[in-house]
């Protein structure tokens, strides 16, 4: 989801006061994870456009670790254990090298490449992971660093893949076949593996919960999901969910985590269920995300609705109101004509709206559930036929009841409305029966087909459940 969620944005500005190294000391003294993460952010800020360059120029390869040792760890009465000191020097050394590659790109240096940036950044990530996984591990409050490094790893990987693609493909590996999506996302897949290690790092921490890396679990999961979606391997998310479920007993309750982490997590879980056609579960998670999402996170709310609306259509046969869609013109445009057609029982219009929106629907992966709206449109059309049939002759004293025996031919006539007379839109009676039997099977109509007599016998009460008749 959007970066507005990660919560670091406001913090960055404060850091522009000092250099990267003093930023480290300040953050460490105040014990602020987000500040520390901001220090390890590989971009310059608007207030300090030379942030990276100043840092890169402050040392050179041969004196780097000495310089870092001094700049990071001296003065300001920092009390950092020796092993941890070394870890930070290693991390910042890798960071320094990565910054060098980034600056090369910025300067359009002839040897510059995003692939090189990615590789250098990968080293930062691995050094950081090592910092956490070694016996004298980095304290859990520094965890936002892990997320920030992971986040930029993903960004650099995507750009590196683009760069590699523009340069033409490299190796084929030893695979037997020509190609897969394999090559296309090689760097991002690599990044996914590293982020996966970060995830494990959080999940498998056995420290007491107050000082546990477990607090980073959902944030890392979200990053990982995002990456898996991008490389089109949604299936891999199942492993992650399984792992989280397996250790759910050791995890704090969802409510205890920052809402930003949980809303994103719920959104992804909802979409994962959605793609598996588990619309009931999907709806549950998406509704949660919808309710808890920050009201100003416009894009996120729009994303949630994109999936929640088709979900709702499938599970409850209800359509979005004008008020709901009013703030989201894009969604309004996406769903409005479809909704109108479903409501009116206009099959021809429905098919046209599906065709018109097909590209967008397919892109968002909502085509298949929306298609099911046709059943609702069909139900509404047949309901009109039923209503048009009027009432039986009222028997003395009894309240009038609707005509419940409807010839199949009347339904066929309804289907012909709005279609032209030739081509495939010609309706044959067997097909009408088939459509009717489906609605009955799906519980959208109550009654049965008496084939010999060519009529439908509808329930006297509730022939069309939940529609008032």
Q: Interface with other proteins by CB under 8 A: which residues?
A: 170-180, 182, 186, 189-190, 193, 231-236, 275-277, 358, 362-363, 365, 367-368, 371-372, 374-375, 430-431, 433-438, 440-442, 448-451
Helix-strand-coil split of the chain, %, nearest 5: 65, 5, 30
User: Between 72 and 408, whose beta carbon lies closer to other proteins?
Assistant: 408
CA distance 450 to 448: 6
CA distance 357 to 359: 6
Greatest Cα-to-Cα distance within the chain, rounded to the nearest angstrom: 106
- In order, the DSSP letters of 64-114 are HHHHHHHHHHSSTT----HHHHHHHHHHHHHHHHHHHHHHHHHTT-TT--H
Rounded to whole angstroms, the Cα distance separating 14 from 456 reads 74
CA angle 345, 378, 466 (to 5 degrees): 85
How far apart are the C-alpha atoms of 460 and 398, rounded to whole Å? 14
Q: Which is nearer to other proteins, 303 or 314 (CB)?
A: 314
Given the complex with other proteins, which of 102 and 354 has the nearer CB atom?
Answer: 354
The residue with tokens 């968002």 is 364
Q: Closest approach of Cβ 177 to other proteins, in Å?
A: 5
Q: How many CB atoms lie within 10 A of CB 76?
A: 10
Q: Yes or no: say if 42 and 98 are a contact pair by the CB < 8 Å rule.
A: yes
Residue 204 C-beta: closest distance to other proteins, Å: 20
**Residue 437: both structure tokens together:** 């039997």
194 vs 262 by CB, closer to other proteins: 194
Q: Cβ of residue 220: shortest distance to other proteins, in angstroms? A: 19
**Shortest Cβ 4–other proteins spacing (Å):** 28
Q: Provide the phi-psi class of 462: left if phi over 0, else alpha when psi is between -120 and 50, else beta.
A: left
Q: Could you give the CA distance from residue 289 to residue 301 in angstroms, rounded to a whole number? A: 9
**Minimal distance in Å, beta carbon 368 to other proteins?**
6
Rounded least distance, CB 191 to other proteins, Å: 11
Q: How far is the C-alpha of 125 from the C-alpha of 145, rounded, in Å?
A: 10
Cα separation, 342 vs 381, in Å, equals 9
Closest CA to 243 of 281, 266, 214, 264: 214
Cβ–Cβ contacts within 10 Å for residue 125, how many? 23
| Nearest-approach distance from CB 299 to other proteins, in angstroms | 22
Q: How far out from the chain centre does Cα 231 lie?
A: 13
Question: Nearest distance from residue 219's CB to other proteins, in Å?
Answer: 23
Helix or strand run (H / E) with residue 405: strand 405-407
Q: Report, in Å, the least distance between residue 281 CB and other proteins.
A: 15
> Closer to other proteins at the Cβ: 207 or 434?
434
- Cβ-based nearer residue to other proteins, 202 or 271: 271
Closer residue to other proteins in complex, CB, 291/461: 461
Is the CB of 180 or the CB of 258 nearer to other proteins? 180
Q: How far is the CB of 234 from other proteins (least distance, A)?
A: 6
Cβ closest to other proteins, residue 66 vs residue 460: 460
Rounded to a whole number of angstroms, the minimum distance from the CB of residue 347 to other proteins is 11
Name which of 114 and 186 has its Cβ closer to other proteins: 186
Among 109, 102, 202, which Cα is nearest to 155's?
Answer: 102
Residue 168 tokens, joined: 């033409």
Nearer to other proteins, 4 or 126 (CB): 126
Contact of 384 with 434, CB cutoff 8 Å: no
- Toward other proteins, which CB reaches closer, 26 or 375? 375
We find the least distance from the C-beta atom of residue 316 to other proteins, in angstroms, to be 19
DSSP symbol at 445: S
Task: Output 320-327 pairs: Cβ under 8 A, ≥24 positions apart.
Answer: 327/298
């Amino acid at each position: 989801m959007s970066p507005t969620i990660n919560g670091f944005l406001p913090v960055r500005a404060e850091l522009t006061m000092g250099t990267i190294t003093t930023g480290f000391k300040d953050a460490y003294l105040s014990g602020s994870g987000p500040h520390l993460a901001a220090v390890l952010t590989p971009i310059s800020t608007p207030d300090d456009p030379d942030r990276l360059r100043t840092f890169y120029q402050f040392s050179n390869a041969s004196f780097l670790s000495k310089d870092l040792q001094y700049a990071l760890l001296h003065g300001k009465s920092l009390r950092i254990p020796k092993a941890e000191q070394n870890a930070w020097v290693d991390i910042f050394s890798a960071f320094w090298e990565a910054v060098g590659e980034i600056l090369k790109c910025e300067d359009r240096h002839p040897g510059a490449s995003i692939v090189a940036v990615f590789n250098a950044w990968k080293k930062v990530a691995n050094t950081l992971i090592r910092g956490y996984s070694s016996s004298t591990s980095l304290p859990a409050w520094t965890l936002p660093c892990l997320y920030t490094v992971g986040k930029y790893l993903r960004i650099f990987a995507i750009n590196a893949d683009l760069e590699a693609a523009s340069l033409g493909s490299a190796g084929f590996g030893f695979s037997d076949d020509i190609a897969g999506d394999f090559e296309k996302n090689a760097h991002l897949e690599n990044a996914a593996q590293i982020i996966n290690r970060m995830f494990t790092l959080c999940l498998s921490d056995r420290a007491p919960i107050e000082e546990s890396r477990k607090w980073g679990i959902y944030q890392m999961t979200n990053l990982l999901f995002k990456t898996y979606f991008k490389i089109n391997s949604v299936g891999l998310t199942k492993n992650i969910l399984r792992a989280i479920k397996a250790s759910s007993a050791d995890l704090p309750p969802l409510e205890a985590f920052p809402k930003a982490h949980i809303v994103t997590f719920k959104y992804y879980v909802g979409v994962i269920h959605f793609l598996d056609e588990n619309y009931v579960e999907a709806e549950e998670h998406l509704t949660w995300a919808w309710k808890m999402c920050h009201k100003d996170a416009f894009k996120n709310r729009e994303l949630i609705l994109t999936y929640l609306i088709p979900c709702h259509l499938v599970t409850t046969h209800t359509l979005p109101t004008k008020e709901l869609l009013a703030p989201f013109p894009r969604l309004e445009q996406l769903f409005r004509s479809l909704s109108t057609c479903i409501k009116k029982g206009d099959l021809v219009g429905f098919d046209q709206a599906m065709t018109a929106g097909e590209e967008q629907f397919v892109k968002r992966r909502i085509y298949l559930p929306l298609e099911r709206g046709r059943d609702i449109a069909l139900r509404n059309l047949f309901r009109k036929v039923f209503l048009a049939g009027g009432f039986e002759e009222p028997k003395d004293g009894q309240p009038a009841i609707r005509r419940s025996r409807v010839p199949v031919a009347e339904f066929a006539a309804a289907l012909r409305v709005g279609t032209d007379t030739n081509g495939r839109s010609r309706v044959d009676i067997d097909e009408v029966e088939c459509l009717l039997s489906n609605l009955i099977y799906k519980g959208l109509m109550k009654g049965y087909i008496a084939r010999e007599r060519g009529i439908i016998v509808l329930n006297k009460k509730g022939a069309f459940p939940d529609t008032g008749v």
